[in-house]
Amino acid sequence: TELSKWIFHERGHLKAVKIRHHKVGETDEPSIYRINDELEFSVEIYEWAGTSWEPYVGDDVQLQFFMMSPYVLKTLANDKKGLYSTSFRVPDVYGVFQFKIEYQRLGYSSLS
């Protein structure tokens, strides 16, 4: 049954790989970003299909740019091949921010 497949990670098991972030127009990930920098963020998400990892297609995966609470919350665009991405501007607030994806959907393992 579908329930036993999910319990034993034969379906609905998600993994995130190749998490990348950098300034727009650059490819290297800097150690710090400055206020009002334009950023690009991307991640590849795959689903276990029983015998192989297949691209996961969902239209509700979101990125949080987070310091104590989310300052930026963006829905990621996907290319239907597992790559999710977005662009945004660093808020005009000093502090230490984190990139977070917390994705929870019925029938799938969670990503965080």
Which sequence spans correspond to the domains of the chain? 2-100
How far from each other are the two terminal CA atoms of the chain, in whole angstroms? 27
pLDDT digits over 45-97, tens only?
999 988 899 999 999 999 999 988 889 999 999 999 999 999 999 999 888 89
Residues 6 or more apart whose CB falls under 8 angstroms from that of 105 comprise 58, 60
Give, in order, the Cα–Cα distances in Å from 45 to each of 89, 93, 104. Answer: 23, 30, 13
**Residue 42 is encoded by which pair of tokens?**
């991307």
Determine the Cα–Cα distance for residues 50 and 38; give it in Å rounded to an integer. Answer: 39
Three-state DSSP class for residue 85: strand
pLDDT reported for residue 50:
83
> What mean pLDDT is predicted for residues 17-30?
95
pLDDT for position 76: 95
pLDDT at 27: 93
User: Do the beta carbons of residue 84 and residue 76 sit within 8 Å?
Assistant: yes
pTM of the model: 0.85
